[in-house]
Amino acid sequence: MLIYPGNPAPRIRLYSRIPRNKTNESLISMGSHTGTHVDAGRHVSNSGYTADRIRLDSCMGRCRVLDLTKHGNEIHGSDLKGRIGGSRIVLLKTNNSVRQYARFRKDFAHVDMDAAKYLISAGVRTLGIDYLSVKKFGKDDDVHALIIDNMTLFEGLNLKWVKAGEYTFIGLPLRMATDGSPARALLLEGRWNL
């Protein structure tokens, strides 16, 4: 699993095991922004909302997956215009999905400020991207903060085998008062009434 530089690697330790104990139980230790996760406002501001305050209606519903694999490392507003189609949940499949990195790379595809503003103006309430961050590596958090302040943000999605189109998205964070939370994200084909 890729780990963003400076974040702790996940660890799983079996602390109770059969036959010595009656049950098997594990201690899981990982950063709140490990693997597929959702960001909360507290991630970019001490006064921001926590993951347990994320509205569940922004975590499930009809969504549109956009194939941006040929648009380079920076997603611009012009790459998105005319492609949102009124969708409230949008997932960006970028060249990160094609590359499927074996180790963390700093040159991952990300969203620029113009694209962030376009998504907000288009009424998108939830954004997902196929890497551990939506912003350019090493840059300030302006794009990150703008997106988190205006929509729910899922990062670290695995979209390698997903084709562009409409799906039903379900991405549920753990209900914790933290700056972010691991999430299990699913895409269902067809229409589901959620």
Marked catalytic residue, from 43, 71, 110, 144: 43
Q: Which has the closest alpha carbon to 191: 164, 171, 167?
A: 167
Quick check: 115 and 135 in contact, CB under 8 A? no
SS3 (DSSP) at 115: helix
Active site residue 76: no
What tokens does 75 get?
Answer: 């997603």
Tell me whether the omega of the peptide bond preceding residue 19 falls within 30 degrees of 0, making it cis. yes
N- to C-terminal Cα distance for the chain?
31
Q: Report CA torsion sign: 56, 85, 62, 147.
A: negative
Q: Got the DSSP string for 46-93? A: TTSPPGGGS-GGGSEEEEEEEE-TTS-SEE-HHHHTTT-TT-SEEEEE
Quick check: 53 and 43 in contact, CB under 8 A? no
Pairing outcome for strands 165-173 and 60-67: antiparallel
List residues with catalytic annotation: 43
